[in-house]
Amino acid sequence: MRPQDRGAPYSDYFRQLNRELKDHGPMRPVMLIDLDRLDHNIDVVKASVQRAGKQLRLVEKSLPAPGLLNYIAQRAEPRRLMSFHQPFLNHDAVQFPQADILLGKPLPVRSAELFYMLHKGPFDPARQLQWLLDTPERLEQYRALALALGIRLRVNLELDVGLHRGGIADEASLDAMLKAIRAHPAQLEFAGFMGYDPFVGMGVPEFVATPQTLLARVMAIYRARVDFVRLRYPDLWRPGLTLNTAGSPSYRIHEQENLSTEVSVGTAMLKPSHYDLPSLSEHVPAVYIATPVLKRTGAVNIPALDDTSRIFSWWDVNQRETFFIYGGNWMADLESPPGLQVNNLYGRSSNQEMVNGSAAVGLAVEDQVFLRPTQTESVLLQFGDLLAVRAGRIVESWPVYS
């Protein structure tokens, strides 16, 4: 059976964006942030956090533009960030001097040293920064750095709650780290735990485990580590410790537990395609790549095959039009107009990517092709300033982290 025509013209939503970008855009690949849709997602997160009685920590790597972070913070009102990269951390300390910042992964101690060498401004790391540490060996490296710099570090301990990507997985390691913290109060302060559990909301088949079963396993591990500190090191336990958990796929299910004090959310605010998950069903896509068509060349024509290529367009109506777009080969899925497809036989290109479709897609040269990123963190950094749109109009431009 021959492939059916999947083509269709733009929906009203993308038709308006196409018109706006042709009139006012830069006519190069851009990343669009839809503020109306973003507002909806922020409100969904905010309502969940309020129901749970927890705090929200924004994941900076997934929203890597100060303007975007600030926009979300103004609506959701968090003063907590999670940072993953030393240059971004130094930037955060300047851009958000009132924030409480928790590292989202253990960094090499040299990265921490560089942070202090480059730090400037009123942000006070001794009160506002928590370094995430995962092993007794790394804790000792950070203690030595604190001693050399004459400072005290707030230390948050990474727990393996089931992700199995490192972190403390046994009581012996936890005991050794807490013992070292207790022995060196001039250099180290226990700030809490972080237990990242995205797998709880990633759609594991229910015959393996339900989200509720996975959450119960996660929180049993987390509670055991909390109880260990309370019983063995009561002098280190105090009100106000950071008990961080969740992630975008799993933050909603943490409404069902009252041990953690905060959830981390980033990518869910924009919902790229790899986050089309049951746990995020209330969220809507709020981020798109837009790039202009540079050339329209008719039926597919493969190098070396030349006229023989006609068999492809004869067999598949969706290869009867060929478009070369500005850029390409991104971590993204073709979104609009419907029916476009990448031609893997021709090959991928980051310069002028070939996409094919039927005549029904209705694209002309300088029309926009819209793609939906599969993730946000690295993809958002590839297009220069983000373009914020509202009601189909460009209203703001936000530089990304460099």
| Residue 345 pLDDT exceeds 90 | no
CA 176 to CA 178: how far, in whole Å? Answer: 6
Which residue, 109, 280, 82, 96, is CA-closest to 194? 82
Residue 225: which of 192, 263, 258, 179 has the closest Cα? Answer: 192
Please tell me which residue, 309 or 382, carries the higher pLDDT value.
382
Domains detected in the chain: 12-32+285-398 (2.40.37.20), 35-270 (3.20.20.10)
What mean pLDDT do residues 355-371 have?
Answer: 94
Cα–Cα distance for residue pair 212/257, rounded to 1 Å = 11
Tokens of residue 197, six digits = 């559990």
pLDDT at 212: 94
In the chain, what is the straight-line distance between the N-terminal and C-terminal CA atoms, in Å?
50
Percent of the chain with pLDDT over 90: 85
Q: What is the pLDDT of residue 5?
A: 66
Mean pLDDT, to the nearest integer, of 209-229?
96
Average pLDDT of the residues in 354-378 = 94
Q: At what angle do helices 211-232 and 171-183 cross, to 10 degrees?
A: 40
> Does residue 301 surpass a pLDDT of 70?
no
The more confident residue out of 402 and 26 is: 26
Percent of the chain residues topping a pLDDT of 70: 94
Give the model confidence (pLDDT) of 18-43 as tens digits. Answer: 999 999 999 999 999 999 999 999 99
pLDDT of residue 306: 45
Distance of CA 245 to CAs 59, 129, 139, 185, 225, Å?
12, 17, 21, 26, 13
More confident residue, 123 or 316: 123
If you average pLDDT over residues 345-359, what whole number do you get? 88
Q: What is the mean pLDDT of the chain?
A: 93
So what's the pLDDT on residue 315? 46
Determine the Cα–Cα distance for residues 161 and 158; give it in Å rounded to an integer: 9
Give the CB-side neighbour count of residue 82, counting CA atoms within 13 A: 28
Predicted model pTM = 0.94
Query: What mean pLDDT is predicted for residues 258-267?
Result: 98
- pLDDT per residue over 121-151, tens digit each? 999 999 999 999 999 999 999 999 999 999 9
Residue 310 has pLDDT above 70, yes or no: no
Does residue 262 have a pLDDT over 50? yes
CB atoms within 10 A of CB 53: 9
Model pLDDT for residues 50-87, shown as the tens digit of each residue: 999 999 999 999 999 999 999 999 999 889 999 999 99
The residue written with tokens 């209330």 in the block is: 282
Average pLDDT over residues 206-220: 91
The mean pLDDT value for 101-106 works out to: 98
